[in-house]
Amino acid sequence: MHYKKSIIGIAATATAIIVGCQVTHQIVKSQGTAQGKHGEVQVETTFKDGHIVAIDVLKQKENKVLAGAVFKDVKQAIIDNNSIEVDGIAGATVTSKALKEAVGKSVEAAGVTLVAVASAKKNEALTPAEYTYDVVIIGSGGAGFSAGLEAMAAGRSAVIIEKMPIIGGNSLISGAEMNVAGSWVQKNMGVTDSKELFISDTLKGGDFKGDPEMVKTMVDNAVDAAEWLRDYVKVEFYPDQLFQFGGHSVKRALIPKGHTGAEVISKFSIKAEEVGLPIHTNTKAEKLIQDQTGRIVGVEATHNGKTVTYYAKRGVVIATGGFSSNMEMRKKYNPELDERYGSTGHSGGTGDGIVMAEKIHAAAKNMGYIQSYPICSPTSGAIALIADSRFFGAVLINQKGERFVEELERRDVISQAILAQPGRYTYVLWNQAIEDVAHTVEMHQGELKEFTKDGLMYKVDTLEEAAKVFNIPEDKLLSTIKDVNRYAATGKDEAFNHRSGLVDLSKGPYWILKATPSVHHTMGGLAVDIRTRVLDEQGKVIPGLFAAGEVTGLTHGTNRLGGNAYTDIIVFGRIAGQEAAK
């Protein structure tokens, strides 16, 4: 059903503002439906005298954090302007478009002619020109929220300022898996692990260019950070599932409910409201403020074109993320990663915190170390989370029907291997036996619809059909999968030494997805010590300035292992909040 109309109230006068209705003061309700990113968005719109007076969202399956901003701000803008010709939310364009289209269809169904109104303007005089807090945090991803909550827990006042209209950054749109050695889930599943092995994997994964002290600090604090998320922030993790990302010796990545960062960021938002931690969105930090001694004492920002100053009595925390979406910055430090590559990151990941800190002579390190993620959408560049089946036995196949790399290799190794294949793409192939364990199709129905619509993904009953849909040589694909099944039976991958063990692919149904690499994570950033204090170009601490998360540049070396980002941002975000509050 796309259209539905009902008249629920009639008054006495009769002027034709509402086309097809006999009287002016009828209250009309009608429904409209449009396709969102993760399913249909259905609304019921209420009209009176040619005006939209209410919009109720009846059905939607969108990312709950992104949708929260759209269904609040865009909805209100439509009502205020009495028009669907309003701006959407950056970072949630598909959901914004779906809401506007659904309302538009409800207008059409009602036969209403909307009365033109003057453009609604917000009363900016209500926004103060100055604020004073103990701690000011720039960025509302996992590191920023962790810092803010820890500062509040220490009894200090704090605020998070965020340049985007929605919170979460890359922490929201990631899978949000978090590596922990010695977690309760590993114990539940009987997985043997150690901090020493985790440290070794991480250092090796970054070609031993990561700072050992930073890595050790991250690993040593990982269990406590995960339990803090579980017990204090109330993030739900699956009790009997773990990911083993490429480069890790064992399964150690905790998986949040829903397999995305929406679970974490939504719980962070709830906790922030609970403890009184304010979040100022649409507020872009422009400049760090120093006193005569060189101490950082605040941040100059802009909000809707107006300068707003945030004074920090104790410290400023930079948690602005990396620069994967800043094309010029990418090319400056790694010319190879030009316009040919998409980005998995959100549009706000443009390196602002690094640039801002460099202006007060903070040191930036390892800026040329930029990671690509191997399995992404060829059209949007976004990570194909549905292909996390790779961590449960899905295989990578080239256009010739051959495997060409170990599926659990490091991200950079797999990415380079894919780019060396015909067409610079790969296919990810898995079957029902893998899906029964991985649940990636079940968890990412929005991606399934999107990729299917774009001709990038198919569900088929046989390997012959899988070959046919992408014009892969059938005999070669069948031969390759025959080898995979033999390796699965013996437990030894003779071709690429799959470290977790392959899975039998003899029975369907099957899913096959076409994918390419995209720029994903920038390992370089601000130089900090293990207390997250930002260092200047001479290696000295800049008083009052702290940084955590992807904006920093010493932990991961040349390559960040999967699942280490969340460990990094939560561990060091908490430390930054604690240190800034002192």
What proportions of the chain, in percent to the nearest 5, are helix, strand and coil? Answer: 35, 25, 40
CA atoms of 260 and 37, how far apart (whole Å): 15
Q: What is the residue-wise DSSP string for 382-437?
A: -B-GGGGGGGGT-EEE-TTS---S-TTS-HHHHHHHHHTSGGG-EEEEEEHHHHHH
* Chain length of the chain: 582
Question: The tokens 């109720």 sit on which residue?
Answer: 56
Q: Which amino acid is at 428?
A: V
CB atoms within 10 A of CB 529: 17
Give the side-chain half-sphere CA count within 13 A for 345.
Answer: 26
423 Cβ neighbours under 8 A, 6+ residues apart: 399
Are the C-beta atoms of residues 397 and 481 closer than 8 Å to each other? no
Catalytic residue among 410, 411, 533, 574, which?
A: 411
Q: In a 10 Å sphere around its CB, with 0-12 CB exposed, 13-18 middle and 19+ buried, how is residue 458 labelled?
A: middle
Phi, psi of 359 (to 5 degrees): -70, -20
Smallest CA-to-CA distance from 470 within 481, 483, 460, 485 is with: 460
Are the C-beta atoms of residues 566 and 141 closer than 8 Å to each other? no
CA atoms of 6 and 525, how far apart (whole Å): 57
Host H or E run for residue 347: none
CA atoms of 580 and 497, how far apart (whole Å): 46
Angle at 14 between CA 13 and CA 15, to 5 degrees: 120
CA atoms of 549 and 84, how far apart (whole Å): 38
Query: Angle 195-205/212-220 helices, nearest 10 degrees?
Result: 140
Give the side-chain half-sphere CA count within 13 A for 582.
Answer: 13
Which DSSP symbol is given to 231? Answer: I
Smallest CA-to-CA distance from 507 within 569, 563, 463 is with: 463
Which DSSP symbol is given to 471? Answer: T
CA atoms of 179 and 171, how far apart (whole Å): 15
CA atoms of 404 and 153, how far apart (whole Å): 50
411 part of the active site: yes
83 Cβ neighbours under 8 A, 6+ residues apart: 114, 117
Q: Which amino acid is at 112?
A: V
**Structure tokens given for 53:** 């007076």
The sheet that has 27-35: what strands, in order across it? 3-9, 27-35, 40-48, 51-59
CA atoms of 263 and 557, how far apart (whole Å): 29
Catalytic residues: 411
